[in-house]
Amino acid sequence: MDFDLTQEQQMIYEYGHRLAKKYDRKYWMACAEKREFPTAMYQQVAADGFLGLMVSEKYGGSGLGMIEAALFSEGLAEAGIPMLSLIVGATMSMSPIDKFGTEEQKQRYLPDCCKGKIRFCFAITEPNAGTNTMLATTQAREQNGKFYLNGQKTFITDAEGSDFGLVVTRTTPHDKVKKKTDGFTLFIVNMNDPRITKQYIPVSVTIPEKQWQLFFDNVELGPDDALGEIGRGFDILFDSLNPERILAAGIGVGLGRYALERAVAYCNERRLFNDVPIGAYQGLQHPLAASKTEIEMASLMTRKAAWAYDKGLPSGEYANMAKYYAAEAGCRAVDNAIQCFGGNGFTKEYGIFDIYPLIRLMRTAPINREMILNYIGEHVMGLPRSY
């Protein structure tokens, strides 16, 4: 594995800092506090050609890989402007369509997605299934050559602002399949269909993207709305989970770095005792140094996971470890950074505490740390299944 970035990869990684010159942390927080999608920034990303990093050039994308997407995610967060919509919307929908869609689907959706003309959300989580997707009950029932979608999804990011959603359904109920992974189908659904009801979920984490519950009431779909083969959608779904975890890890790494850079600058300027910068005191210096080490270790695992994915190698082990460790290291980094600011760390003026809710969310979403540890224990270490 080559640890050197190409010139193109370095440019992608540094893009966040260039973008932040126009759309900085203050812009991102202003959108977050108003619960307003950062449309202007999103459109700038589209205009600069970064929405379709993993989409084939034929359909308006850049034709690059997971390493570039991870660098992009990491770089944006490092500039203080993490964009969750680029994970759960753009990447988790555009890439599967590019990889598994029909030619008609690719031509219909991907060019406009890459230009930022249309947005996608990704709908998988259900209130009664949670992380156990096998128990999903949202069903697309076939009748006379059509499918009728009924059910409910929850915590769907940017559902109201999205034009389409990639919706995980069952075309065969879980109690009627031979294998629990059989019977899944992903459908491309028009989110403006009047038979879809959207209910806003107020959350305490200050982010621009809103969360929604979705209720489907006999939403009519055609076979051409299905992504891939009917009943074989779990393969597509499984292929989407590792990228999601890799990109989430990139956000954790980036936010950790952002917090540490803020803390280092403050510790070099702030003087209290004997006119010495407080950064000279080991009580502050050592926690920051430890967090810096942890963040860089998380970054390496994230890039290894992305490298394995691009090589077509099994990447679940690395993707889960990267997501777990990036969230843990990110939380500690932000916590240590806040401590350096003392009382100032809790003020709006210094804007350091407002990083914490999002980085803390990373320990729970898009998959919680306990399920990741279950995966590592069972599938990596060979321990008995624990649940």
What DSSP string runs through 115-140?
A: TTSS-EEEE---TTTTT-GGG---EE
Give the number of other Cβ atoms within 10 Å of residue 290's Cβ. Answer: 14
- For residue 61, give the 3-state DSSP assignment: coil
Contacts of residue 178, defined as CB under 8 A and 6 or more positions apart, other chains included, come to: none
Q: H/E/C letters for each residue in 335-386? A: HHHHHHHHHHHHCCCCCCHHHHHHHHHCCCCCCCHHHHHHHHHHHHCCCCCC
Domain ranges of the chain: 7-119, 121-231, 235-380
Question: Looking at the domain that runs over 121-231, which CATH code has it been given?
Answer: 2.40.110.10
Q: Are 191 and 165 in contact (CB under 8 A)?
A: yes
User: Fold for domain 235-380?
Assistant: Butyryl-CoA Dehydrogenase, subunit A; domain 3 (1.20.140)
CATH topology agreement for domains 7-119 and 121-231 = no
The correct CATH number of 7-119 out of 1.10.540.10, 1.25.40.10, 1.10.150.120, 3.90.180.10 is 1.10.540.10
Round the average pLDDT of the chain to a whole number and report it. 95
Write out pLDDT tens, residues 277-295: 999 999 999 999 999 999 9
Write out pLDDT tens, residues 331-374: 999 999 999 999 999 999 999 999 999 999 999 999 999 999 99
Q: What is the pLDDT of residue 131?
A: 83
Helix (H) or strand (E) holding 185: strand 184-190
Write out pLDDT tens, residues 264-277: 999 999 998 889 99
Write out pLDDT tens, residues 294-332: 999 999 999 999 999 999 999 999 999 999 999 999 999
